[in-house]
């Protein structure tokens, strides 16, 4: 049986009613190959249903062929369960996707993989911690996996891409087709990941996804990663679904503690209470992954008032009102230096009136 026949049989099975990934896995365990499994199942459905599923599967292959012609540099392809390219970790799932659509660099998954997930409504604290975690882990040689959603997910991807020497080791698992940026505001991030990292989806090209497709993709994120870190998660955050899948798979789960009265930390704090590893410092994440910290980058080349303000932030976040005293500067000169540092991307100014170094 050719590779195309195998792929087409699996795509057709996926479009059969009443089967699903778990049912397909069971069927494949009972038959010698995908084509035999398809032949067996076709006997249980009407000719019209079988024909429609086959037509839809052919359409998906045609869509992938078109995408490959339009973006050959991104190597769009279909990964099938049992093939050498198919991520081995997914077979730990009870319902691994029979087919997986990929675009980008598959070798991104060759490194130790860590998932960093969290709320779409991230606080500045959550964004700052995510930036430090993802950047340091990627710089230390890890592949950062997330779901490309707004908030924590997007920050994890972009920080991994920007990490010095990381080589774009980040993977986005989408709840849409691999060619559909979602949210639309992440179009540029989607392109950067496709070019320097890897996009994965169990949905065919052109598929916009739906409410159920985003929670389902979380099981793939969990299965790909050795460690899942939840940075911020509300009581009903999708990140908790990812953590639950990881625990079910016997993977490590960790969480970043947050204020006990912050809604976006309710879920992550609950994970810690229930036994998840605590990420109190980025070195905790490195230790769980068995990674060595990356070489420390030299600080920015600063002088004058900017240097004084930057040095005053060495101990962490400082309120704007307290910085003139910390930096031993008049208020006007201190504010001017903060503006200079923020424009240069060296510090982050929170809406709450706090300033911190950009990790």
225 and 122 within one domain: yes
123 and 64 within one domain: no
146 and 257 within one domain: yes
**Looking up tokens 């990627």, which residue turns up?**
138
227: in domain: yes
- Of 289, 317, 344, the last residue of a domain is 289
104-136: pLDDT as tens digits: 999 999 999 999 999 999 998 899 899 889 999
| Pairing assessment for the beta strands 354-357 and 318-319 based on DSSP bridges | antiparallel
Tokens at 220, concatenated? 């793939």
137 and 91 within one domain: no
Question: What's the number of domains the chain is made of?
Answer: 3
53-93: pLDDT as tens digits: 999 999 999 999 999 999 999 999 999 998 999 999 999 99
Residue 235's domain comprises: 106-289
147 and 190 within one domain: yes
CATH code at 341?
1.10.10.10
254: in domain: yes
314 and 168 within one domain: no
Cβ neighbour number for residue 322 with a 10 Å cutoff: 13
CA angle, 36 then 16 then 12, to 5°:
55
45 and 99 within one domain: yes
234 and 276 within one domain: yes
271 and 134 within one domain: yes
Distance separating alpha carbons of residues 94 and 80, to the nearest angstrom: 16
247 and 114 within one domain: yes
281 and 318 within one domain: no
154 and 66 within one domain: no
CATH code at 269?
3.40.50.450
* Minimum mean pLDDT range among 1-5, 97-101, 114-118: 1-5
- Packed helices 304-312 and 331-343: angle between N→C axes, nearest 10 degrees: 90
Report the predicted TM-score, pTM, of the whole model to 2 decimal places.
Answer: 0.85
């Amino acid at each position: 049986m050719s590779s195309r026949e195998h792929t087409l049989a699996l795509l057709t099975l996926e479009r059969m009613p009443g089967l699903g990934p778990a049912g397909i896995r069971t069927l494949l365990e009972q038959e010698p190959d995908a084509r035999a499994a398809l032949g067996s199942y076709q006997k249980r459905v009407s000719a019209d249903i079988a024909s429609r599923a086959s037509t839809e599967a052919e359409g998906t292959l045609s869509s992938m062929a078109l995408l490959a012609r339009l973006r050959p540099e991104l190597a769009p392809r279909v990964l099938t369960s049992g093939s050498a390219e198919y991520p081995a970790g997914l077979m730990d799932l009870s319902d691994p996707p029979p087919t997986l659509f990929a675009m980008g660099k598959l070798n991104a998954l060759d490194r130790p993989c860590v998932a960093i997930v969290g709320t779409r409504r991230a606080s500045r604290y959550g964004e700052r911690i995510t930036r430090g975690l993802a950047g340091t882990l990627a710089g230390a040689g890890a592949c950062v996996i997330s779901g490309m959603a707004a908030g924590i997910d997007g920050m994890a991807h972009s920080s991994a891409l920007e990490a010095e020497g990381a080589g774009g080791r980040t993977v986005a698992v989408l709840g849409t087709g691999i060619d559909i940026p979602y949210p639309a505001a992440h179009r540029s991030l989607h392109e950067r990941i496709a070019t320097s990292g890897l996009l994965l989806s169990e949905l065919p090209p052109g598929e916009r996804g739906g409410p159920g497709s985003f929670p389902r993709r979380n099981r793939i994120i969990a299965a790909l990663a050795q460690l899942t870190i939840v940075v911020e998660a509300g009581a009903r955050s999708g990140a908790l679904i990812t953590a639950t899948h990881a625990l079910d798979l016997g993977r490590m789960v960790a969480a970043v503690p947050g204020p006990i009265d912050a809604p976006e930390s309710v879920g992550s704090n609950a994970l810690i209470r229930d036994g998840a590893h605590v990420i109190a410092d980025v070195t905790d994440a490195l230790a769980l992954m068995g990674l060595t910290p990356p070489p420390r980058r030299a600080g920015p080349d600063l002088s004058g008032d900017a240097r004084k303000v930057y040095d005053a932030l060495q101990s962490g976040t400082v309120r704007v009102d307290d910085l003139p005293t910390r930096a031993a500067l008049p208020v006007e000169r201190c504010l001017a230096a903060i503006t200079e540092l923020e424009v240069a991307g060296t510090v982050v100014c929170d809406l709450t009136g706090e300033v911190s170094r950009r990790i």
